[in-house]
Every structure is written in structure tokens, then in C-alpha cells.
Amino acid sequence: MEATLTPLPDDVAALKALLAAATRRADDAEARLAHAQARESATEAVIAHLKLQIAKLKRAQYGTSAERTRHLLEQMELQLEDLEADATEDDLAAEAAIAKATSVTAFERKRPSRKPFPDHLPRERVVIPAPCACPACGGERLSKLGEDVTETLEVIPRSWKVIQTVRERFSCRDCETITQPPAPFHVVPRGWAGPSFLAMLLFEKYGQHQPLNRQAERFAREGVPLSTSTLADQVGAATFALMPLYRLIEAHVLAAERLHGDDTTVPVMAKGKTDTARLWTYVRDDRPFAGSDPPAALFHYSRDRRGEHPRAHLASWSGILQADAYGGYSELYAEGRQPGPVLEAGCFAHARRKFFELADVAAAARRRSRNERTGMIYPIALEAVQRIDALFDIERGINGKSAADRLAVRQELSAPLMAELHAWLTSQLAKLSRNHDLAKAINYMLRRWDAFTRFLDDGRICLTNNAAERALRCVPLGRKAWLFCGSDRGGQRAAVLYTLIQTARLNDVDPLAWLADVLARIADCPVSKLGELLPWNWRTSKV
């Protein structure tokens, strides 16, 4: 059957009316489409936001049972950023389309609530002049009823200035002696950089992972051309000036009775290639057992990973070392070691990870969906993860309590679980071949059982070495930006600045503000009062 077409009228006015009606219908259809798209984008953003909240809550409750969730959370946050931006664009497009329509209601998107701007930010009042006469009747007898204030957050671009310190010279008319005040202190002899500039330079390089060449490019765009070599001179001089604080932090860390230790790779320039060097960290953190001593992180650099390096770092130290099973620590644990014994405390996160990789059902499903080869999912590994997670559940309840309270709970609740775990691991090992992956994971714990059970006899010991791994996280983040160290001296300099910056962060101190104040005061500070400039003391004096 053929469709019958409605004949168009010959009258011009009728045609205009018909065209106007068609235009209105098209505008309404476009508005409804934009409305639906805006609603869909807003819904997707809300769903992504809720998924991120759920994932964060799961990580907070089951954090140690989710080895890869940190990277997943970062990806989800990036996805949420894009979805929120998409929703805003579609919302504005819908408003523009609905403004031309006649029968489509406006779309009201539920936006996330914004916190008030901080009180410490300065306020600049811009008053819009009120009319001098009533716009309705022209009367001039106006009375103020109040005011509405709209706050807009704005940023002032970074400003540069040159401080001219004038030192006047005077001559004595009686003895003809010429006097003049001393020159102001600069970190570099006859230098030119102020403490705030130096602090920014150091923090951008070692705290925000911005190499000096990128900083020099940004300075040039701001109208202050400075060569990379000139900036490097300032970094070297500032590091030299801060070395006394590094030594004080080193002494503070090595005065602890328990340390976390770990290391990570750092590429370093060699002839025509890069070598793999190491950055080591030793973290003092007594907060898990309500210790009163402030936390601190000590970094060292070495060209390789030979065991002589940790032995040299801890040559004068004795106590409890929480670390992974790196063989270079073995001589530290030797009986009769001088000046005292070093006791090994195992890391359950490392032990658990070996089982988790063999029981990662989700990863196997993802590989299977991509038609990739998947490994076996072992029920034994899954049960091992669950048994270790039961220990972590107990630890969450006693984190931050005194060592005596932690020890009492562990003796009551954790000791029976550890005994059951040992018996279960031994029985499972007897069923496996020697070279099986599960056998290797089980032997990792059984061969170091004394180290893994040491926490049952000492409430100060943590279950994991995560404190050291968190302190080292700045290094892999930096590697993505600066790629490699230029020399061994550069690696040593990085160890010094990482020590200062990470220690400030551990004590909830702004590293940039702290470095600026320290660089301004350290020249006039007596050696006996250098301790007042340490991050934990500096924060107390500022408050």
C-alpha cells in the first residue's frame, strides 16, 4: 500500500505557519534528546561516584585482602573525572536546547555538595552599586534590607620580585674607620636565591617530581629565564646547607628499637646506558603501638643491591627489623652480632601476596575474557588468604593501642590462629611436589616461622612492612617523571631530600613551608638548637 502525502497549502501564510510548527516540533525533539542525554550522563556520573565510594569502603574494611585495589581506585577516580565533565557539558547543552523549546521542562541535575571555602583565605569585597532611585516608581527614599553575597574562588598568578638589601657605608670623621653592616645570608656564597625560591625548587624536584629542565621552561614562560645549570647550583648548595638536619633525622631513626626496612630500584646514568641502582629506606614509626616518639624516614643510595649496604647502614644499630626476605639482611640476623642482635620480623603482606596471586579469581576471569592464558586457581591458596586475613582482622581492632594491650589480644586471639595455620600449612605441604608454586609460597612462611610468629611475643611489632613501602612510593612516582638519576652524587642528593620531605609528610607538616622556614633560619641557628628545626618540633613551635 502506498503512503498518501498530505498536500501542502498554496497560501504563503499557511506555509509559514506549517514551517513554524515543524520548527517547534524539531526544537522540542532536540530538547528532549538533550534532556535525555544530560540525564543519562548525570546518572552515569552518580553511578561511578557510588562505585568509587563502595570500593573505598571495601578497601578500608578489607584493605589487606585487596592487593591491587589502589591502582583500581586511581583508575576509577580518573573515570569519574571524565564522567563528571561529560555530565556538565551535556547539562549545559540541554539548557541551551530547552531554551528554544516550548513544551520541554528544564533538566535539574543533582550536583555534589561543595564545602565552604576555607576561612583562612583572604576575602575581597566587590560591591555592585545599588540604584539611587526605585526602578518601579522613581522614588529616592531607599532603605537597605540586607545583602546577598556570592563567593567566587580565584587564584592570583605566581608573582616574582627582587629584594634589594641595601647596606650603607659610613666613615668616622674622628678615626676615619669605615663601617658597614654584614651582607645577608644566602645558601650559596655570594648567592642570589631566597629561601622561599629554594624551597620551591627542592620541593618541586623531589616532592612533586618535576626535573629542573621543566621548571626552567616554566620560569622562562613567566618571564624569569634561568638556566638548568644555574638552578642545579642552587639545589646542590641547599642540600649541603640541610645536611645537619639529615644527620639529626638519621640519629633519630637509628635510636629506635624497631625499624621498617625496604629498597627499590632507581636508574642511574652510566656510559652510554643506565645502571640499576638502589634507594634504601628505614622507617621509624611507633604510632601503631601508641608510641610517643615522632615518625621519620631515612633514605640511603647505593649503586647496587649487595648485602654490604644494609650492613653498613645499620652497623651501629640493634633491635627489631621488619623487612622482606632479602638475603642481604641475613648477616644482620647472625647470632653474636656486634654491637647487638637484630631480630627479624616477617611481613605477612609479602607472604599473603604469594598465595593471593595463586587465588586471584578476578584476574583469571579477566584474562579468560580476553582469550589469554590463565593459570590455575588453587583452593589451598584461597584458604591460606582467608586464614591470613583473619589475623589482619584482629590487628585492625588493636591498631593504635599500647604495646601491652596489643600483646594481650594477640596471645588470646592470634596465637591459636597461628598454631592452626602452622599445622595446616605443614599438612598441605606434604601433599604437594617440591617445585609446585604453592609449595614455594608455603615454604616462604614455614622456613621463617620464627620471624612470622615474633609479633606474638612483642606488641610493638607490626604484621606488615607497609610503612617502609609507603615511604618508598615517592621513588617509583618520580621515576615516571625524571626517568633516571644523572650520577651517583645525584642519587645521594635524592636520598637526603627524600629523607627531609618524607619525614615532614609523616609528621603532617607541609614540606614546602617547612623547607622555606628552615632555609631562612638555619644559618643563624646554633648547633645546640638545630633540633628545633626538625619537622615535629617545628610544627609544635609554629602552633
**Are residue 418 and residue 321 in the same domain, yes or no?**
no
Q: Name the domain count of the chain.
A: 3
More confident residue, 80 or 519: 519
Question: Is 60 exceeded by the pLDDT of residue 529?
Answer: yes
Question: Is 80 exceeded by the pLDDT of residue 121?
Answer: yes
Q: Which pLDDT value is given to residue 66? A: 43
- Percentage, residues of the chain above pLDDT 90: 32
Question: Is 80 exceeded by the pLDDT of residue 344?
Answer: yes
pLDDT in tens, 241-288: 899 999 999 999 999 999 999 998 888 877 667 778 899 999 999 999
**Are residue 412 and residue 338 in the same domain, yes or no?**
no
Backbone angles phi, psi at 139, to 5 degrees: -70, 150
Mean pLDDT, to the nearest integer, of 480-505?
A: 84
**Chain-centre distance for alpha carbon 466:** 14
pLDDT confidence of 484, banded at 50, 70, 90?
A: low
Rounded to two decimals, what is the model's pTM? 0.76
350 CB-contact burial (10 Å; exposed 0-12 / middle 13-18 / buried 19+): middle
Distances (CA, A) of 531 to 77, 248, 311, 535: 40, 7, 27, 9
For residue 499, which of 511, 485, 486 has the smallest C-alpha distance? 511
Q: Which pLDDT value is given to residue 59? A: 62
Q: Is residue 55 part of a domain?
A: yes
25 residue type, one letter: R
**Three-state SS for 439?**
helix
Question: Is 90 exceeded by the pLDDT of residue 404?
Answer: yes
**Are residue 421 and residue 530 in the same domain, yes or no?**
no
Report whether 250 contacts 298 (CB < 8 A).
yes
Q: Is residue 133 part of a domain?
A: no
For residue 414, which of 393, 440, 435 has the smallest C-alpha distance? 393
**Are residue 434 and residue 398 in the same domain, yes or no?**
yes
Q: Is residue 162 part of a domain?
A: no
**Are residue 511 and residue 449 in the same domain, yes or no?**
no
Grid cell 520541554 is found at: 104
Q: Is residue 248 part of a domain?
A: yes
Separation of alpha carbons 261 and 80, rounded Å: 36
For residue 278, which of 267, 289, 286, 269 has the smallest C-alpha distance? 267
Where in the sequence is the domain holding 295, given as residue range(s)?
A: 194-347+487-543
Give strand pairing partners of 274.
269
pLDDT confidence of 67, banded at 50, 70, 90?
A: very low
Domain boundary pick from 100, 116, 134: 100
For residue 77, which of 55, 108, 104 has the smallest C-alpha distance? 55
**Are residue 327 and residue 214 in the same domain, yes or no?**
yes
Q: Which pLDDT value is given to residue 285? A: 93
Domain boundary pick from 39, 68, 100: 100
Least confident of 68-82, 238-252, 347-361: 68-82
Give strand pairing partners of 296.
284
Domain boundary pick from 78, 100, 122: 100
| C-alpha cell at position 364 | 583469571
Give strand pairing partners of 261.
282
| C-alpha cell at position 106 | 528544564
Q: Is residue 157 part of a domain?
A: no
Q: Which pLDDT value is given to residue 313? A: 93
Backbone angles phi, psi at 137, to 5 degrees: -120, -10
Mean pLDDT, to the nearest integer, of 464-489?
A: 80
401 CB-contact burial (10 Å; exposed 0-12 / middle 13-18 / buried 19+): middle
Grid cell 618541586 is found at: 204
